[in-house]
Structure 1
């Protein structure tokens, strides 16, 4: 049998050309369509460290590494001690971390007013604080970083001449030994209304309330050593009704433009009514032995260059009698009050209103509450009522000096004899002085949560915001 001839490839193509055309034409059409379609985007790359330099931290987006920054160094030269705050801002004046914290905060005792006889030594007491502040600022930014020194009520009590000698010594120190940017008028005694306004700005800034209508802001009471300030936003109509002040006195209302919103800020500072100064005023009423001083204590209270007998009564301290002395010291029924509504010592109360309803109370209020044991010293804020101070005062007034020492281990020896007095004063100041209800809720504040960090609820931040926006 003959072997069949093997068919060539061209012969096969010729024989199956119909089938090939049927199959290839659709394939060519599909390829053409795919060629015309837009290409799919490349897969996204992973974010680098630089891409992630802007991180969200709560209510703000805060640059974490890149972008322009500015620093501000603010000294709070108070009556009970000196403190330095260092802040870092981005271009939007939002706080930026300095290391792990949103501020550098260092303090030491005593305050500048304790060096009344030696102004140079007063200035030298700030050296260690200054060195720590400078170390927190990058070398290349130090010459452009403003440093302010705001002395408060402690220096106000020394008299103009003595206070100015101390301030000049501080100016000389900053000029000769600091690499930071200083100006003579940045070292000054703050008037009380400045201090109160800065404190109001600080707390409302940290809470994210600036830029909102005034009724959404919070009011502030700041109890320092030498003075107490109250500040809260009021309506434009109430501002128009504010009483006129005498020549040389600060006006009751300041107009502030913050985050595009105009605020009418009622603010008043009561000199001689800070916690330490008020002790002297209360002891003046007692004239020797005081129902506010714990039984078993006999001594002399020194404040502002004066000395006041401070002796406990044999019968012991008494909350009711102490409260009577405090009311007299506050001059609650001051006949000079010519306005419809007054706080104490003849001062207009601002009219009240929405801006005062949510009240944040700072400084010595928090400290004494923690020492008396009715708030946790480790927490930044606490919700309390004025009646909590009343109850704490009644407990403290029943003790003698030795019993108080065992009961209140966190109160310093110098403050123990006056614990009944301090707590009674704080209750009376809130209720009789500022007109709060005994069971009205208030917020004791030491620090405020801002993003992922806690920031001191102190006036220097308000000053830093002002100077940073000007430089």
Structure 2
């Protein structure tokens, strides 16, 4: 299967506010003319689209309904159907059939909200992200094939084999940027009025923001097979040059492994809470170990406890901030060009695990949809947490799940380090943590599937 190439990503945007008649072939065109999914169904006034986000930490299903102007229409009392479950598909690396079966309950929830007469015309997409990318081609393809078979045999929605695929990181980041700017009503405005997006998943982290045409012209060439740094998009009649890059191995769960891997001797325990010896979780096989993918790392705490400053030094080392391979004037980390900065990055929306950990650490209301914070808030929280042992951390942060308690110090340290040292955000710059975004009288999940659903809906 040809990997999605996003050079002409989201050509649907020509239609976002200029809704033209459907072509005979239907489908949303991506780079290279590849089509991912059929036209969304149109019953005369509404269209439905179903998108599965098969992430590394869990699977989620989104069902959207659009009117003729591509505005979201409520589904029941909510603006979308959103359901999720854990673990993700990559947790079933050795059992593809079980991986596919894990989506059944989500599929059933989606079918409940789409009218019976429209289900067989409603497109269903499955986009797997960093978790499956990390498994390698053979294993991920086995799981994808099992999912295709499931949709063919047990789903009432319209599906085709190539509508179930692994998203490349830049596609995921671009769809996320479209989602947030669409909901905020920014599309069609000058690039300086748009917001930048950082999406921290379990296996990868994406940065996307609009840059000037002048900065876009400075984008370094990339090696064959790699995603280009800049995507040219036409959204609501406005041309945008979108800087987007996905950092595989630097999502929150993957970064734990990178930090532990970067340790020398047993200094990994500077990031682990005292008393972490006897807790059992799905991420490690036995006591004091952390398992990610096929690798297992020492992760026990020491009697002296964690150290914020020493753990931060490990996080900086893992990010390769001073990577010698950086041949550009400005880099983020690991030798990656930073896009040049500018107005499109000054208003930053930060999603996924950033919001989750902030809420669990107590400096964001977990019931809020959006919150204004500063990177320094993560630093302050990390300093408090790293002083605790496992028992005290459990008592202090009851909203943190048992398997994540030992990693609360390393997670918060990493998030601060990623923002400040990795992406060069000022520690005291205001950023917006976002879980859901207000839309009309409801809220929309701040996730890439809406961008994907818009792409398929706009082609009809």
164, 167, 170: which one aligns with 2:141: 164
Give me the whole-angstrom Cα distance separating, in 1, the residues matched to 2:419 and 2:400.
22
210, 235, 241: which one aligns with 2:187: 210
Give aligned pairs, total.
406
Task: Give the superposition deviation at 1:470.
Answer: 2.4
268, 284, 297: which one aligns with 2:276: 297
1:132-162, Cα deviation, whole Å (9 max, x unpaired) = 1011111111122110000011111111100
Which aligned pairs between 1:231-380 and structure 2 lie closer than 5 A?
Answer: 231-286=208-263, 287-288=265-266, 289-298=268-277, 299-380=288-369
TM-score with structure 2 setting the length: 0.87
| 1:135 aligned partner | 112
| 1:230 aligned partner | 207
Which aligned pairs between 1:2-21 and structure 2 lie closer than 5 A?
Answer: none
Larger radius of gyration: 1
TM-score with structure 1 setting the length: 0.85
Task: Give the superposition deviation at 1:290.
Answer: 1.9
The alignment partner of 2:289 has SS state of strand
Q: Does 1:123 align with 2:100?
A: yes
Which aligned pairs between 1:352-431 and structure 2 lie closer than 5 A?
Answer: 352-431=341-420
Give me the whole-angstrom Cα distance separating, in 1, the residues matched to 2:153 and 2:275.
50
Give me the whole-angstrom Cα distance separating, in 2, the residues matched to 1:395 and 1:320.
12
Q: Does 1:82 align with 2:59?
A: yes
Task: Give the superposition deviation at 1:312.
Answer: 1.2
77, 80, 83: which one aligns with 1:103: 80
| 1:191 aligned partner | 168
Unaligned runs of 5+ in 2: 1-42, 278-287
Task: Give the superposition deviation at 1:67.
Answer: 5.1
Q: C-alpha root-mean-square deviation of aligned residues, in Å?
A: 1.0
423, 437, 459: which one aligns with 2:448: 459
Instruction: Judge conservation of contact 2:196–2:346 (CA < 8 Å) in 1.
Output: yes
Task: Give the superposition deviation at 1:258.
Answer: 1.3
Give me the whole-angstrom Cα distance separating, in 2, the residues matched to 1:415 and 1:140.
44
Q: Quick one: higher RCO (CA 8 Å, sep 6+), 1 or 2?
A: 2
Give me the whole-angstrom Cα distance separating, in 2, the residues matched to 1:404 and 1:102.
37
Instruction: Judge conservation of contact 2:132–2:140 (CA < 8 Å) in 1.
Output: yes
Task: Give the superposition deviation at 1:285.
Answer: 1.6
1:368-426, Cα deviation, whole Å (9 max, x unpaired) = 00000001000100000000000000000000111111111110111000101000000
Unaligned runs of 5+ in 1: 1-65
Task: Give the superposition deviation at 1:366.
Answer: 0.2
| 1:62 aligned partner | none
Q: Which range moved further: 267-276 or 311-320?
A: 311-320
Give me the whole-angstrom Cα distance separating, in 2, the residues matched to 1:125 and 1:466.
26
The alignment partner of 1:91 has SS state of coil
Task: Give the superposition deviation at 1:304.
Answer: 1.1
Q: Which range moved further: 438-447 or 175-184?
A: 175-184
Give me the whole-angstrom Cα distance separating, in 2, the residues matched to 1:404 and 1:111.
27
Q: Which has the higher helix share?
A: 1
Give me the whole-angstrom Cα distance separating, in 1, the residues matched to 2:155 and 2:161.
13
Give me the whole-angstrom Cα distance separating, in 1, the residues matched to 2:356 and 2:385.
15
Give me the whole-angstrom Cα distance separating, in 1, the residues matched to 2:147 and 2:68.
30
